[in-house]
Amino acid sequence: MNNYLITIIGPTAIGKTALSIKLAQHFGCDIISCDSRQFFKEMTIGTAVPHPEELAAAKHHFIQNKSVFEAYSVGDFETDAIAKLEELFKKNNVQIMVGGSGLYVDAVLKGFDDFPDIDASVREEINAKYDALGINYLQDSLKELDTDYYNKILSENPQTLQNPQRMKRFVEVCLGSGKPYSSFIGQKKNNRNFTPIVIGLEAEREKMYERINLRVDLMMQEGLLEEAKALYPNKHLNALQTVGYRELFDYFDGRATLDFAIEEIKKNTRRFAKRQITWFKRSENAMWFDYQTDVSEIINFVEEKGTRYKA
């Protein structure tokens, strides 16, 4: 297999964008973005979309290519990204993927498992019970129907237990198939026409938190408050249920002061970074580098993996 997908992972504000551009310039290739927050054209500052000069320094794909009013799932992204890579590998056997959305990274590198089609009546019943009983109904149901998967979520990604859409899906598969959701995981083999080379960037926790706090301050200086205010009338949209916007929506609703909202953005971003690290540290065969590592060292690592530029 002669195609290589250099995949850069790591927590938010660690320097993934800067590294991806340097590598793209070295290998003369494009960049696939798999940051699920950067897909949306209405969200620029709060999602840390690369600046125009960065976008001009290397060809990027899947940045601000959708609207918050459009439904766009991780499955949609997998299909689109694989098709784009098929196209790009015809020009260059090295391509780059970068982003902090672990589920979206896994979708491209590994693909998704096959789940059975579920009768619409099951979904309707679950929605009705959720409307009446709330998130606790979904949590209790999953705990009863697939205890192992519930415990896995609880230990590895507990915020998922508060995500109604994902929890509904888990319960839907359990009830509709009569089997645990986890029994369908890992059954399908997804073939890829590339070899992934996974590079992780990391920093000491205090340094990582310092970088996050600074980024939030810079976002506020760049106009995050005004961007959030423009989006506020559509705060119910799924794309806007994210750190950096939710906290400012609370400020607009009168439930928080502006200073408190800003501190909440910093706190919740730090928590998000911790969850990213937990997810990415499970990545198989990832090579981790300090965020200050000279790019030449990383290039040497990539080339030792057998990657060679193809004109």
Maximum CA extent, the chain: 60
Whether 24 has a binding-site annotation, put simply, is: no
Whether 14 has a binding-site annotation, put simply, is: yes
Strand ranges of the sheet holding 60-61, from the earlier edge strand across to the other edge: 60-61, 31-33, 94-98, 4-9, 195-202, 287-290
Helix (H) or strand (E) holding 212: helix 205-222
Whether 265 has a binding-site annotation, put simply, is: no
Whether 12 has a binding-site annotation, put simply, is: yes
Residues 6+ apart with CB under 8 A from 246: 240, 268
Whether 7 has a binding-site annotation, put simply, is: no
Whether 257 has a binding-site annotation, put simply, is: no
Specify which residues 201 forms β-bridges with. 289
Specify which residues 4 forms β-bridges with. 94, 195
229 touches 32 (CB < 8 A) = no
Distance separating alpha carbons of residues 131 and 109, to the nearest angstrom: 36
Question: How is residue 167 written in tokens?
Answer: 């929890």
Distance separating alpha carbons of residues 81 and 269, to the nearest angstrom: 27
CA end-to-end distance (rounded Å), the chain: 17
247 touches 264 (CB < 8 A) = yes
Distance separating alpha carbons of residues 134 and 141, to the nearest angstrom: 12
Whether 66 has a binding-site annotation, put simply, is: no
Whether 186 has a binding-site annotation, put simply, is: no
For strands 287-290 and 31-33, give the pairing: unpaired
Question: How is residue 61 written in tokens?
Answer: 């794909």
User: Which residues line the annotated binding site for substrate?
Assistant: 12-17
* Residue positions forming the annotated binding site: 10-17
Residues of each annotated binding site for ATP = 10-17
